[in-house]
Amino acid sequence: MSIGNVLKANMKLCVKLLTMCLLVSYMFQSRAWAHINIEQITGNTMGTTYTIQLRLQNNLATKQQIKAFVEQELERVNSALSVYRSDSEISILNLNDTGNPILVSERLRDVLQISKTISSQTYGAFDVTLGPVIEFWGVGVKARDLQNKDRGQLELARSKTGMDGFTLSSKAITKVIRGLEINPSAVAKGYGVDRVAKILDGAGVLNYLVEIGGEVRTRGVGVRGRDWTVAVTRPEKFSLEIQQLTNLKDMSMATSGSYVNYIESGSTVYSIPNKPE
């Protein structure tokens, strides 16, 4: 056999051995991942539910401790942002008059600053000061009563809105439009997800999926070391049929639709893509 043929034979053998090693390595990794359980933590918050899927491995806290930390943080977020609680920080803020600086918590200030940033990026399309208009349409806290509403009342509600209706400092907010009411519901759930993720990061959890009412954030990987898979259902009322599967890794995702929340007034249908929670 020539030297060239010997070299070719050795190369083929090396390739086979390398392939076998990779296959064995993959099999061991698959088995290792198969024996790592994905734990689940669930609960209620913000008028909806939350779900956390996570891998508990070399963490700084137990599953029970993590759930307690999460519940405490979600309670803090609710007590700051819920327009459905009369004793919440945002509800008390909405009752305050104009011109006086009002001290705000870290969480409320975060959400107000995020809201101002997004409003600027969307040229004013995003507006958390629509509280009076939301209540006019009956999709907020008060009961719906469209029969006794007219265009003049709507225009009056609109006159009490505007992202320039309040100023924000490092510790306080000052309302400059009389009757301004802030409804942070469009940001609250996503912000809650981020706060929960911060809790998990602090507990040393490297792989998790956090979901609150359709708002999702992921880190690391899920079952068998693969990217987290999120199912999006068809945009039809009461449909559980899957429209699309989406893989996420170190990413967030939020969905919204007008096929569940809407108002029917005579022959007209008014959609509500982001119903406050």
Per-residue pLDDT, 160: 94
Q: What is the mean pLDDT of residues 145-151?
A: 83
Per-residue pLDDT, 192: 97
Taking each helix axis from N to C terminus, what angle separates 106-121 and 63-81, rounded to the nearest 10 degrees?
70
Q: Domain limits of the chain?
A: 1-35, 39-69+184-277, 84-183
Per-residue pLDDT, 36: 61
Q: 176 with 182: CB under 8 angstroms? A: no
Per-residue pLDDT, 99: 84
pLDDT band at 22 (very low <50, low <70, confident <90, very high): very low
Quote the mean pLDDT of the chain.
84
- Asked whether the predicted pLDDT for residue 15 surpasses 60, the reply is no
- Asked whether the predicted pLDDT for residue 179 surpasses 70, the reply is yes
Other residues' Cβ atoms within 10 Å of the Cβ of residue 75: 11
Q: What is the pTM of this model?
A: 0.80
Integer-rounded Cα radius of gyration of the chain: 26
Please, what's the b/e burial string for 197-226 (b: 16 or more CB within 10 A of its CB; e: otherwise)?
bebbeebebebbbbbbbbbbbbbbbbeeee
Q: What is the pLDDT of residues 229-274, one digit of tens each?
A: 999 888 887 778 899 999 999 999 988 777 777 777 677 777 665 5
pLDDT band at 19 (very low <50, low <70, confident <90, very high): very low
Per-residue pLDDT, 95: 93
Q: What's the rounded Cα separation, in Å, for the pair 62 and 40? A: 12
Q: What is the pLDDT of residues 34-89, one digit of tens each?
A: 446 799 999 999 989 999 999 987 778 899 999 999 999 999 999 999 999 999 99
Q: What's the rounded Cα separation, in Å, for the pair 97 and 76? A: 24
Per-residue pLDDT, 223: 86
Q: What's the rounded Cα separation, in Å, for the pair 230 and 274? A: 20
Q: What is the mean pLDDT of residues 133-157?
A: 86
Q: What is the mean pLDDT of residues 5-34?
A: 40
Q: Which CATH entry fits the domain spanning 84-183: 3.20.20.80, 3.30.479.10, 3.40.50.9100, 1.10.3980.10?
A: 1.10.3980.10
Helix, strand or coil for residue 80?
helix
- Asked whether the predicted pLDDT for residue 206 surpasses 70, the reply is yes
Residue 46 exposed, middle or buried by CB count within 10 Å (0-12, 13-18, 19+):
buried
Per-residue pLDDT, 7: 35
Q: Which CATH architecture does the domain made up of 39-69+184-277 adopt?
A: Roll (3.10)
pLDDT band at 98 (very low <50, low <70, confident <90, very high): confident
Per-residue pLDDT, 276: 42
Task: For residue 31, give every residue at least 6 positions away whose Cβ sits within 8 Å of its Cβ, in sequence order, or none.
Answer: none
pLDDT band at 3 (very low <50, low <70, confident <90, very high): very low
- Asked whether the predicted pLDDT for residue 277 surpasses 60, the reply is no
Per-residue pLDDT, 27: 42
- Four-residue CA torsion sign, 247, 253, 259, 261: positive
Going by C-alpha positions, the residue among 172, 176, 181 that lies closest to residue 103 is 172
Per-residue pLDDT, 111: 97
Per-residue pLDDT, 272: 62
pLDDT band at 17 (very low <50, low <70, confident <90, very high): very low
Q: Which residues pair with 210 in a beta bridge?
A: 52, 217
